[in-house]
Structure 1
Amino acid sequence: MATVNIRRDVADPFYRYKMERLQSKIEGKGNGIKTVVANLPSVAQSLARPPSYVIKFFGFELGAQTNTNPKDDRWIINGAHQADKLQESLDTFINKFVLCKDCKNPETEFVVKDGRILLDCKACGQRTAVDLRHKLSGFILKNEPKGGKKAKKEKMSRRDRAKLEAQENGSVNGTDRSPHESNSDKDVEEEDDGEIAAGSDDEFTKQIQEDAKTIDATNGATKEEKWAVDTSAEAVAARAKELPTDLKRSLAFDEEDDGGEENGFSVYDQLGTWIDTQAKEKGGIGKVDDVDIYKKTAELGIESKHKTLTVLAQIIFDENIVAQIPKRAGMLKKMIGDSEKHQKAFLGGIERFVGSGNKDLISKVPTILMTLYQEDVITEEVTKPWGTKASKKYVDIATSRKVRQAAEPFLKWLEEAESDEEESDDE
């Protein structure tokens, strides 16, 4: 299912708040014509609002009758309404009844108090008021979610709701189920037959050194002078000004080592934006050279940071990731080294890459992991523990669970390969 940013005015592909694009179907004819919104519950859940509020808003905006409590989960609007028109109405709903009026973040929940509807923002902590003049406000006041487990879940923040659902499914903080316990028994299929040539980090290092010598010969500068990063306030501000505002990144990282910000741009934002700009100028991400990428990380002083691997995992690949991994392996191995922390950060970036904007690639997770493993980018010691437990560190818990469940064929292969080695040693 295609996803879009909850705030569609934000073009950033790494914007963390996503929802499914509305799917509608026009049925009937004449006076009985109607529009069924097939995925309304899923969209409403992404907005942390009851589906009845969304369908009622459509009714008010379009001047049509709606059903706000369907027993068959068919959410209907009388009349014929195209999906793009409904999507525009949904944008209005989000702006009026979801986004915090202060920080424009969708991480809000309703608080009804003294006849007012407040948006309690979990991101900035502010409470802002909803316009009571809109007809939907009256509907909300009359149909405030009542008690009960389902209603309680609807009113939770996304983070708390995801945690509750994970606990109910026994996949997180529990022991009765793990991603390895699905119904999938198939071995890994078409894993490139193990014949992919490993990338050479030595060759990559040689490229960097030769490139640096060329720079030295041309500019008469020593390596130390060329690779040093000017960290003065003026230099950082100048670099930030060169970056187009509409390309600012909001990548997902852990909370440690934020890299600092200058004029609203962290060094990781700058790296992501620079690579994106290079890809557009050169006609595709595959044409951005690894040496240039590494030099940029060195310029920013983050070539040894684990979070850099999280950024790179999200932006140096596209839908052809399986074929691109061997070409990037030399750079990745050099930057990861022997660090488990760097491997985990890279796997987190891969999880976000396939889970947040490229969900068609989730089915290819086993092949992606196999290729990374064959290229010595990731190791068995890090990957096996990674696959045993879903995490909300880089994506929402439901998406994390899907990625790890998709990884099961590869993880099973690792276990069987280890068993075969042990049997061979015994013999």
Structure 2
Amino acid sequence: MATINIQRDSKDPYYRYKMPKLLGKIEGKGNGIKTVIPNMADIARSLSRPPSYPTKFFGCELGAQVKNEAKNDRYIVNGAHDTEKLQSLLFTFIDKFVLCGACHNPETDLVLKDQTILRDCKACGQRMPVDMRHKLVTFIMKNPPPTFKRSSRKDKASRKQAGGSNSPEDELLAADSDDELTRRIVSEAADLPDASHYDNDDDWAVDDTSEAAIKARQEQLALDMGKLAVNGDGDDDADGGQSKYDEFGDFLTKDPSASMADIEAKAQELGVWGKHRALEVLIQALFDADVINQLKKFRPLLLKFGQTEKHQRSILGGLERLIGVNYPEVLLDNVPNIFITVYNLDLVDEAVFMKWAEKASRRYVDRETSRTLRDKAAPFIKWLQDAEEETDSEEEDDSE
């Protein structure tokens, strides 16, 4: 089967993203004439989208009825339609609902957030909205794919108040939600001082590159990494020992302004790229009291390191030390807000949070600090539990 580049404007014969060229087959006659697309499932698989999406898109653009027979692998558009016309419309669908709006890479997933469909790019980490005015949007909302992140934990308020975005950028939660606990978390977080409240000349400021500040950060990082070495699970130490993480930490503390590309290159050079423990080092070396904004800034890099449960636990471990040891006076009371940010950025899944909350651990901090962190996180954990119960109840109602 002939393949073509997914991106319409790409003429590069070595372009890595390919899809089958669309095939159209006209069947029937008179009022029953229709166009069958026999390879729509293969095309959709190349685009990581359900085949019903581009088929329905054709119907929206052509003003025609469509039929999706997934069991028979038949996707039909009523009427006789030219194959080249359908191919052109397919490229339009790709531009609007597949390609990243920032880097134009097709490695995207669709994510629903506050009644907006976003293209979540795995290549550059950007989240760009689709054209919400298009008729296909309604179909997608009603027919989310299996990978569609339609989590009531994040969207329960917006589902009750369809059409409006009610999540403040700083809290990433709906202040006017029916959920009393959610409102209380956001209300209390709004009264907390942010990083700008503190003197920019404090010793913890990461942009302080004086020799004394760098030395202090290196000493603290060495202590932190020593504790991680004692309490860690050891699976990263077999191929180079602790020194490679010390060296990675030295690089980060000496050059806090290094770009994400530079950090990735150094991690690969040292052999720690993809290692979950490197995330602990990165958070310890680069993050400070402005952790919420830093989580947003470094999200693409954190995700590229890895997204397994171990990587997610390491993110939480690094945050435990950052919050409970480095800046407890600044960050302890802001734990719910920090964790809400982590959750909404898809850095840590709900299941990992729930497992983390089950019991205190001495892996990253002392037992007392670990208990304190979990106590501070209790409102957020309860919010997750309540939302899960509500989701289960809604699903039972739907099935009935």
Normalised to the residue count of structure 2, the TM-score between the two structures is 0.43
Q: Which has the higher contact order (CA 8 A, sep 6+)?
A: 1
Normalised to the residue count of structure 1, the TM-score between the two structures is 0.40
